[in-house]
Structure 1
Amino acid sequence: MPATPQVVRVTAEHATDRTAVATARPRLSWVTECATPGWWHAGAELELTGPAGTRTAVLEGEDSVLVDWPFEDLRPREEHALRVRVTGRDGSVSAWSEPRPVVAGFLADGEWSAATVGLADPQRLAEPVLLRRAFTLDVPVARARLYATARGVYQVEVNGREVDDEVLKPGWTAYDHRLLHESTDVTGLLTTGENVLGVRLAGGWFCERFPSGEIGTRLYGDQPAVALQLVVELADGSTRTVATDGTWRATGEGPLRRSGIYPGETFDARRVQHGWSSPGFDDAAWAPVRVDEPCPVPQARMSPGARRLREVAVADVVTTPSGRTVLDFGEDLVGWVRLTVSGPAGTTVTLRHAEVLEGGELCTRPLRTAEATDRYVLAGTGREAWEPWSTFHGFRYVEVDGWPGELDPADLVAVVVSSDLRRTGWFECSHELLSRFHDNVVRGTVGNFLHLPTDCPQRDERLGWTGDIQVFAPTASALLDCDGFLTSWLRDLALEQADHDGVVPYVVPSVRPQVLAAAAWGDAATVVPAVLHERFGDTGVLAAQYESMRAWVDVELAAAGERRLWEGGFQFGDWLDPAAPPDRPGEARTDPDVVATAELFRSADLLARTARLLGREEDAERYAGAAEEVRRAWLREYVTPAARVVGDTQTAYALAIRYGIVTDPAVRAAMGERLAHLVRAAGYRVATGFVGTPLVCDALTGTGHDEAAARLVLQTECPSWLYPVTMGATTVWERWDSLLEDGSVNPGQMTSFNHYAFGAVADWLHRVVAGLAPAAPGYRRIDVAPHPLPGLDSARFVHDTPYGRAESGWRREDGDLVVTAVVPTGTTARVRLPWVREEPVDVVSGRHEWRGPDPDAGRGPGGPVTLASSPAEVLDRPAAYDALMTTLRAHDEHLARAFRDQTRWVPQGRLVDLMRRVPLPVQQRADEAVRAATS
């Protein structure tokens, strides 16, 4: 770190790449590093150099994150270089930062002139199209920018070269309301003389048959269409615009014969029209395009595009019992396979994708109606390389059929694609399985952040489920720079919500035939903006989404009525509670009314806080009052004088504790005790669904039950976070038992092996276990408060905050605890050390280390236990429990599993009294094993 201040990163709000910005007044951020402890930002000077010369702006104060644009509005296509230098309170001045290009990547109001065009006479649904337009430039090109969008997915070529490396453009938005356009510098692709614009176009999400009950429906349209305009500024000062219109020509006779998000691609290399996007190509056989009715004027993209991020080699080649060849790529990933092959013309290579094997064969049942199959027909011209471009798959395994000759696994490689979001969070700990679980969370996030936050990437769904991102937004915001990505998605949420009188659809963009208000799912409208404000310091997203937030809370309050209890009607509830039957995932142990009313309180409270932050005092008072009425109603209706919650479930107590419904310290402590009791009674195995799972560990540690939280998060028996890891998972599963303990796939109709929702516990690992949390929006002030959990020897979380890199961690060393922290320049931290947690320490920027007594040092294992001990006593001695279960499994695996699942591991009674179905000789062997393990 430099001894004097240095500006190391300058960014512009919602930049889609390293240069382009989506608005005329992008907010600016910069990160300063300085080795001087406690260095504090006092002001900055900004220098903008562009067509009008150099302008400067002097800003006073501490702000360096999402600072309002201090210059005149940018004009379309203007290119600038921005530099920043900062001044500290101590009078120190940094050097100028490296110039940061800022290009106005948007169009002026009324400037969009492109028609929406497609194939005039399609012969089949969602027919892939090639389109082209030749034009001549008589004067050298000074600058050229391409603006393009599609109802479908597209790629543009200029003179035979692709214009960028993005994939599946422009992604999926609420097509009826909002389209996005890319903004691409193509200056270097144009030449004086004849030029050609070529477009590859396929149906993508626009033409997909989305699941709707038993029958898929094509919601948006039957045929894809594209709209683009190329604005060329010539050396003589003139401007030439080439836009899609009726003069373009198109053909459906290209090599892409079939394409769909769910079906996959069929590509016939014999039909490649060489040179089709280059000058000199004869397009006489092509026909004039179809011109559609105008679509919504596209908006500039405000989040990074999707790209090929990395490649994965084949890890193993499997010959299945039926003799088929299956490639194992070693991890569940999202993207496609690129192949290199040679063979006779007309040979068809078929690639079928799936996440798991069952019985040694490719298991496609979880895909439901999604074919997830790519086919390549060889041209017979020697070594041929090919990869899909208009579809994607979620897979680990690929079955290969029709390969000519001997298959060399080096000829096939998996290409991982995702929205290109900067990684910002890294967690590590001493527990191998927990570290692998966190890796799985990261991999699942990347896989499901492809243009929008999806539930899963593989089956006939891949939808923007609101409930999933509502619970996962804090984790996502810690792992990836996803402010622009989720802000863009929230705009679609608000547009779809307005179509349903304030009700938030279950999925955004909305493709469901019926939309009803559902708690936790609809609460994405309030929770996600609040998370973005908390983690990125983004007040702008609160202002932009405020009406959406208010409309949703008004829907909830109307549903609750005068009693302020949201009862009855459809709810997802604590979805996928492990106790729910495979075919009825909504049948949770927690009453859906308890969940719904708790979510209403949370949203009303968030809305009141947002209103106050935005200066809407009347709304703030109104919704704060409503939230308090709901809170009191929840306590009155669902909590007994003894602090028991109706249903007596883990989720119910976690809701009360984490949402702040219970404020009385004594009641809160009693609920924490009951929650810890229930967690132990369940054998420290997960007993919560979508709503409760992100909360339960937080509720335990927040009420002083670190050991229970540790046993819960480190559990490896099913259901648990680590059970899938022991079964070879490389992403987080949708169901706790997507793969059953016997290796078979869950019989439920809804089973995914890449579903990030249950990975939301990673945020607790970051904030609580490692101990790094925002104490002020954007981490301007940081909480460092690690919880050294029993069973771990170390943990650490590193996060690139908007102010710079922060870190919190701890390790056990020679009977002591060593806590470390890195506080970014220009921020402060409040530190709560494990051995003096009630006395926080305030520290300034810099690297810090503290050493103190380890509360777990010297803790003995306790006295011996036997089968005459209580179930809880045996369970709380891991060695005893393991000895017991090993003995039972050696006798009868099914009996052992039934005993484990049916036993309430409570501190009352004797364990042996619950073993009546276990043969006496087995009981005796188990008692001997338990005694031996604890003596």
Structure 2
Amino acid sequence: MLPRPRLVLPLLVAMTAMLPDVSAQLSAPASLLKPVLEADGSAGFKAMQSLGYTPLFNGKDLSGWRNPYPHGEAKVVDGEIHLTGNDKFFLVTEKQYTDFRVSVEIHLPEGPANSGVMVRCHVDPTEKKAVFGYQAECDGSDRRWSGGLYDEARRGWIWPSTPGRSEEVFLLHEEKSKEAFAQPAIRDALNRNGWNRFVITCIEDRISIEVNGVNTVDFRDKTDAAGYIGIQHHGEDGQTYRFRNLFIKELPIVPASKTVDLTNQSPVSIEKIDDSVTLVDFGKVAFGNLSLRNPETGPYTGTIHFGEKLKEGRIDRNPPGTVRYGASKLNAGSGGQGTSIVAAPVHPRNIEQTGSKGSHPPAALTPESWQPVMPFRWVEIEGWPGELKAEDITRRAAFAKRWNEDASSFECSDPVLNQIYGLCKYSIKATTFAGVYVDGDRERIPYEADAYLNQLSHYATDDHVEMAAVTFDWLMENGTWPTEWAPHMVFMAHAEWMDKGDVDWLSARYELLKTKTLLQRSATDGLVRSGKLDQTKNDIVDWPKGERDGFVFTEINTVVNAFHIEAMKRMAELARAVGKEADAKAFQDRVAVAKAAFQKTLFDPHSGLYRDGIGTDHSSVHANFIPLAFGLVPDENVQGVVAWLREREMGCSVYAAQYLLDALFAYGAEAKAVDLIVADGDRSWKHMLDSGTTISWEAWDLKYKPNQDWNHAWGAAPANLLPRHILGAQPAEAGWTTVTIRPCPAGLTFAKGKVPTALGPIEIDWTNESSFQLDLKLPEGMAAKVNLPATHGSSGVWVGGEQVDATRAKGRWLLKQEITGSNRIEVK
């Protein structure tokens, strides 16, 4: 018999649902606000398998399940589990689980009904209440506490809590928890007369619950660490409770175990610092550890130091920010036989699955068989007997298994730009170590905006990109808190679809994306509102805070709304791709309403610029280049916004620079974009080069972000900007079947390179002198819409020596006919 613990550990985190105070009435169609579960569960079954879940129910019989009660009936009907009875009972799994994410779809009967999903529960058939423990509530009553956390047959309501049904410790948050469940998003999460998807995640002492994509609870409690999964019939005589698509994903997931390998690398130099210290340089920073051959001259006992940074010719043992240093002791044998694997100590934040203070998404773990890895370039070995030879020491560096160095290239007439491209391309390669796109080495956690920028650059540099889709699925289950980070999930899905053209992949994820558009925070005018908590914490604009160009936060925020509108635009495209025409039209209609309100309320006709928000006259660069990048600026206002941005220097972070430079390249200011990339001073990629780093930084300099790390791929934007804009290759249709070729010379005299695509590489070689000449080689199955710069005095465009039909507009020539195969195209 299992004991029934009564000890309640202190409350560590309780989620109050960071929802805004939206006073205006929502008008968005209900079908756009949350996932729609089809009447037929087969699509959902396929989707869960695509998302990497394992079925708990095979759809045919009750294998793996049992009823520990003498009453109640469970049977399989048309691929569903039906529970009937006249007294409460639970059907439970035969297997126990520890850390996991479980997904169950529930359909309540009409009339009085109450059900739920038990997690980490206990079973004692000798007791009247044979099943007890944590339960995610499915509440069919007018109380609407679906998604609440209940402790069945033990401590009662945990979150929300209520007198008479909760223990004293939980009543401390009664007001806050009831307030959370009164918020419309949580209160209305349940579809009372249809199917509902419950997702419960248990990681260590953290329990989180989602109902139809809405996070309802995030709580920490150490009472139970493992147990069974169960589903409930509440006991109403004659009522049938229906369950389907029961899936589980056991945690932790280690993505690198499938997609990343350790590569042996020899040092580029070995230097004897003094009689007791040898300095080894591997040339570039990589995430890894060491393999050391046992010394021939005798046993070795000493210390191995790892570092990313030198100081006065030695490894900096107290580096700034999150720049890494570590040291490990080694006791090795002698005789030159055998090797030792030496790894720096694990940094606690790199392996945390939930924080000791507060809750955060889990860190991406690396395989235990590797032993720990950390980013380092230099190694100092103390007291090595005799001479350390190159063959004695190897770095085992972690890179994506399928990384193809020859998949991409870029070269132009500016040698600094070439070096920056090399830095940024290597940054993408080096940060594939975790199998998902993580935020450098400070936490090793994927963040949505970081991941999207990383994804764009990965597509532009490699030809077998699986990591983007893996990271997308990770983030859909482990989202982070910033407002603008949620729409980046729509951007990620759209980019993956455009790159691969995989409609099946998209269909399995489309409904889940509906929670990422910020529609739940919008009002009748289509614009998103930001409550006090959003204005002070959740709305990011840029990061770190000092990079916001004095942005003034208000209830209606220009940057937030630009991201919201762009997310809905892309959702309309995705809806059409998966055959959801009604959704596509609804999203388009909503975009039209929001765009009209955006222009009317946020554009200042006197200055010709966008204000930061309603209630302020301040215009930051962000409030202007982000709408410009998303095509929200009407044609008659573009010139003024672009002219103003041309006069500004780099007024944003390395993250936001992706959008700033995209906007400048797209609207004829490519020379300014390149100037910003190669500028002198400490706010450019040239500054990173001059510092000697081999992986891009999280910020322009430590003085702008003192805790920054030196291995952050969101700082590698030129890896995608240069191929997409200088070479000019971007997909125009999903799967690269049609592309846009729009090179931007930016004052350069030549550029050439290779851009990887799903159909094969695009090869581009252009010169820009007295005329513009482009040699273009497209893979089979691809057609190009060609848009070329109109050189001074040019009168037309020639393809293969024959003049072709082309239209001149806004300083460029647009070819009427699409191009295929290999061609020389000239503007003259």
Q: TM-score range by the shorter chain?
A: 0.5 to 0.7
Which has the bigger relative contact order, CA under 8 A and spacing at least 6?
Answer: 2
Q: CA deviation at 1:314?
A: 3.2
Matches for 1:368-767 after TM superposition, within 5 Å: 372-380=326-334, 382-387=336-341, 389-423=370-404, 424-459=407-442, 461-481=443-463, 483-496=465-478, 505-506=479-480, 516=481, 518-553=482-517, 555-558=518-521, 564-567=527-530, 568=532, 569=534, 570-571=537-538, 573-576=540-543, 585=546, 588-591=549-552, 593-642=557-606, 643-646=608-611, 647-662=618-633, 664-678=634-648, 682=649, 686-738=650-702, 746=703, 748-767=705-724
- The code of the aligned residue for 1:811 comes to T
Determine the C-alpha separation between the residues in 2 that align with 1:784 and 1:450.
Answer: 32
Matches for 1:191-202 after TM superposition, within 5 Å: none
Residue 357 of structure 1, aligned match among 306, 310, 315: 310
- 1:291/1:402 Cα in 2 relative to 1: closer, same or farther (>3 Å)? farther
Residue 785 of structure 2, aligned match among 827, 830, 838: 830
- 1:313/1:382 Cα in 2 relative to 1: closer, same or farther (>3 Å)? closer
Q: CA deviation at 1:852?
A: 3.8
Determine the C-alpha separation between the residues in 2 that align with 1:471 and 1:847.
Answer: 31
- The code of the aligned residue for 2:666 comes to G
- The code of the aligned residue for 2:711 comes to N
Aligned residue for 1:306?
A: 260
The answer on whether the counterparts of 2:100 and 2:250 sit within 8 Å (CA) in structure 1 is no
Residue 811 of structure 1, aligned match among 764, 767, 770: 767
Residue 820 of structure 2, aligned match among 833, 840, 845: 845
- The code of the aligned residue for 1:488 comes to V
- 1:588/1:808 Cα in 2 relative to 1: closer, same or farther (>3 Å)? same
The answer on whether the counterparts of 2:539 and 2:560 sit within 8 Å (CA) in structure 1 is no
- 1:368/1:445 Cα in 2 relative to 1: closer, same or farther (>3 Å)? closer
Q: CA deviation at 1:440?
A: 1.4
Determine the C-alpha separation between the residues in 2 that align with 1:426 and 1:808.
Answer: 10
Determine the C-alpha separation between the residues in 2 that align with 1:345 and 1:628.
Answer: 77
Matches for 1:781-930 after TM superposition, within 5 Å: 781-790=738-747, 792-812=748-768, 815-835=770-790, 837-853=812-828
Aligned residue for 2:282?
A: 329
- 1:773/1:344 Cα in 2 relative to 1: closer, same or farther (>3 Å)? same
Partner-residue secondary structure (3-state), 1:819: strand
Determine the C-alpha separation between the residues in 2 that align with 1:677 and 1:648.
Answer: 14
Determine the C-alpha separation between the residues in 1 that align with 2:257 and 2:409.
Answer: 22
Matches for 1:765-784 after TM superposition, within 5 Å: 765-784=722-741
Determine the C-alpha separation between the residues in 2 that align with 1:220 and 1:372.
Answer: 28
Q: CA deviation at 1:794?
A: 1.6
Q: CA deviation at 1:519?
A: 2.7
- 1:666/1:312 Cα in 2 relative to 1: closer, same or farther (>3 Å)? farther
The normalised TM-score by structure 1 is: 0.53
Determine the C-alpha separation between the residues in 1 that align with 2:749 and 2:419.
Answer: 16
Q: Which moved more, 1:613-622 or 1:430-439?
A: 613-622
Q: List per-residue Cα deviations over 1:190-210 (Å, max 9, x = no partner).
A: xxxxxxxxxxxxxxxxxxxxx
The answer on whether the counterparts of 1:784 and 1:821 sit within 8 Å (CA) in structure 2 is no
The answer on whether the counterparts of 1:651 and 1:693 sit within 8 Å (CA) in structure 2 is no
Determine the C-alpha separation between the residues in 2 that align with 1:560 and 1:762.
Answer: 38
The answer on whether the counterparts of 2:743 and 2:788 sit within 8 Å (CA) in structure 1 is yes
Q: List per-residue Cα deviations over 1:880-900 (Å, max 9, x = no partner).
A: xxxxxxxxxxxxxxxxxxxxx
- The code of the aligned residue for 1:315 comes to S
Q: CA deviation at 1:666?
A: 0.9
- 1:585/1:465 Cα in 2 relative to 1: closer, same or farther (>3 Å)? farther
- 1:828/1:586 Cα in 2 relative to 1: closer, same or farther (>3 Å)? closer
Matches for 1:80-159 after TM superposition, within 5 Å: none
Determine the C-alpha separation between the residues in 2 that align with 1:401 and 1:464.
Answer: 36
Determine the C-alpha separation between the residues in 2 that align with 1:833 and 1:296.
Answer: 50
Determine the C-alpha separation between the residues in 2 that align with 1:372 and 1:618.
Answer: 56
Q: List per-residue Cα deviations over 1:271-294 (Å, max 9, x = no partner).
A: xxxxxxxxxxxxxxxxxxx99989
Determine the C-alpha separation between the residues in 2 that align with 1:301 and 1:755.
Answer: 19
Determine the C-alpha separation between the residues in 1 that align with 2:254 and 2:371.
Answer: 22
Partner-residue secondary structure (3-state), 1:373: strand
Partner-residue secondary structure (3-state), 2:538: coil
The answer on whether the counterparts of 1:418 and 1:446 sit within 8 Å (CA) in structure 2 is yes
Partner-residue secondary structure (3-state), 1:313: coil
Q: CA deviation at 1:845?
A: 2.9
The answer on whether the counterparts of 1:574 and 1:691 sit within 8 Å (CA) in structure 2 is no
Determine the C-alpha separation between the residues in 2 that align with 1:760 and 1:630.
Answer: 29
Q: CA deviation at 1:780?
A: 0.5
The answer on whether the counterparts of 1:316 and 1:329 sit within 8 Å (CA) in structure 2 is no
Identity in percent: 19
The answer on whether the counterparts of 1:734 and 1:754 sit within 8 Å (CA) in structure 2 is yes
Q: List per-residue Cα deviations over 1:443-495 (Å, max 9, x = no partner).
A: 11122222433444444x12212220123322222222455322223223233
Partner-residue secondary structure (3-state), 2:582: helix
Q: CA deviation at 1:640?
A: 0.3
The answer on whether the counterparts of 1:525 and 1:552 sit within 8 Å (CA) in structure 2 is yes
Q: Where does the alignment leave 5 or more consecutive residues of structure 2 unmatched?
A: 1-45, 65-96, 104-201, 206-224, 230-247, 343-369, 612-617, 791-807
Partner-residue secondary structure (3-state), 1:602: helix
Partner-residue secondary structure (3-state), 1:735: coil
Figure out how many residues of one structure are paired with residues of the other and give that number. Answer: 543
Determine the C-alpha separation between the residues in 2 that align with 1:401 and 1:667.
Answer: 64
The answer on whether the counterparts of 2:322 and 2:441 sit within 8 Å (CA) in structure 1 is no
Determine the C-alpha separation between the residues in 1 that align with 2:705 and 2:671.
Answer: 34
- The code of the aligned residue for 1:756 comes to A
Q: CA deviation at 1:359?
A: 4.2
Determine the C-alpha separation between the residues in 2 that align with 1:564 and 1:747.
Answer: 32
Partner-residue secondary structure (3-state), 1:450: coil
- 1:830/1:793 Cα in 2 relative to 1: closer, same or farther (>3 Å)? same
The answer on whether the counterparts of 2:323 and 2:709 sit within 8 Å (CA) in structure 1 is no
Determine the C-alpha separation between the residues in 2 that align with 1:303 and 1:830.
Answer: 41
Matches for 1:338-353 after TM superposition, within 5 Å: 338-342=291-295, 347-353=300-306
Determine the C-alpha separation between the residues in 2 that align with 1:767 and 1:611.
Answer: 26
The answer on whether the counterparts of 1:573 and 1:591 sit within 8 Å (CA) in structure 2 is no
- The code of the aligned residue for 1:674 comes to W
Q: CA deviation at 1:534?
A: 1.1
Q: CA deviation at 1:107?
A: 11
- The code of the aligned residue for 2:671 comes to E
The normalised TM-score by structure 2 is: 0.59
Partner-residue secondary structure (3-state), 2:561: helix
